[in-house]
């Protein structure tokens, strides 16, 4: 499933940057045939290959693995049932492209939420 999230993010970034698979192959050192297999779900990239692709896209690898534009139903289908979440009920991880002034506020909310989640985690471990 994470391969699917990875390659859909790679395809999205290629599209956003008007970049071709050939350009990505040249920048990353990954063969065009492997990239084609990867972006059709036929390849299983190693961590080293994913790092090379992330570096070529100038995008942090965790972002390529964690964030997705796929909705919950699509993720559940890929997982073959209900996809497990590392977040407690009532919380959702989102990815968005925003103007700087709005991103600033979202980052602040994110910091506050991470603090609450750490406190919640600590409280639950005490029991």
Q: Which pLDDT value is given to residue 84?
A: 60
Instruction: Give the HSE-up count for residue 109: Cα atoms under 13 Å, Cβ half-sphere.
Output: 9
Q: Which pLDDT value is given to residue 120?
A: 82
Distance (Å, whole) CA 1 – CA 4: 5
Let me know the angle formed at the C-alpha of 40 by 35 and 41, rounded to the nearest 5 degrees.
95
Q: Which pLDDT value is given to residue 78?
A: 57
Distance (Å, whole) CA 87 – CA 67: 14
Q: Which pLDDT value is given to residue 71?
A: 66
> Tens digits of per-residue pLDDT, 17-61?
999 999 999 999 999 999 988 877 788 899 999 999 999 999 889
Element (H, E) at 126: none
Reported confidence tier of residue 122, pLDDT bands at 50, 70, 90: confident
- What's the average model confidence in pLDDT over 111-115? 90
> Tens digits of per-residue pLDDT, 66-100?
766 666 676 666 556 665 666 777 887 776 778 99
DSSP result, 19-81 = --HHHHHHHH---HHHHHHHTTT-----HHHHHHHHHHTT--HHHHHH--S--HHHHHHHHTS
Q: Which pLDDT value is given to residue 82?
A: 65
Q: Which pLDDT value is given to residue 36?
A: 87
């Amino acid at each position: 499933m994470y391969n699917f999230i990875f390659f859909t993010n790679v395809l999205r970034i290629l599209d956003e940057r008007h970049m071709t698979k050939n350009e990505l192959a040249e920048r990353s050192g990954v063969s065009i045939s492997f990239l084609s297999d990867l972006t059709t779900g036929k390849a299983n990239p190693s961590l080293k290959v994913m790092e090379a692709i992330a570096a070529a896209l100038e995008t942090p690898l965790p972002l390529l693995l964690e964030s997705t534009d796929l909705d919950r139903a699509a993720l559940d289908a890929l997982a073959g049932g209900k996809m497990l979440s590392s977040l407690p009920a009532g919380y959702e991880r989102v990815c968005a492209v925003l103007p700087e002034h709005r991103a600033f506020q979202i980052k602040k909310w994110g910091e506050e939420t991470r603090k609450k989640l750490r406190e919640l985690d600590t409280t639950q471990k005490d029991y």
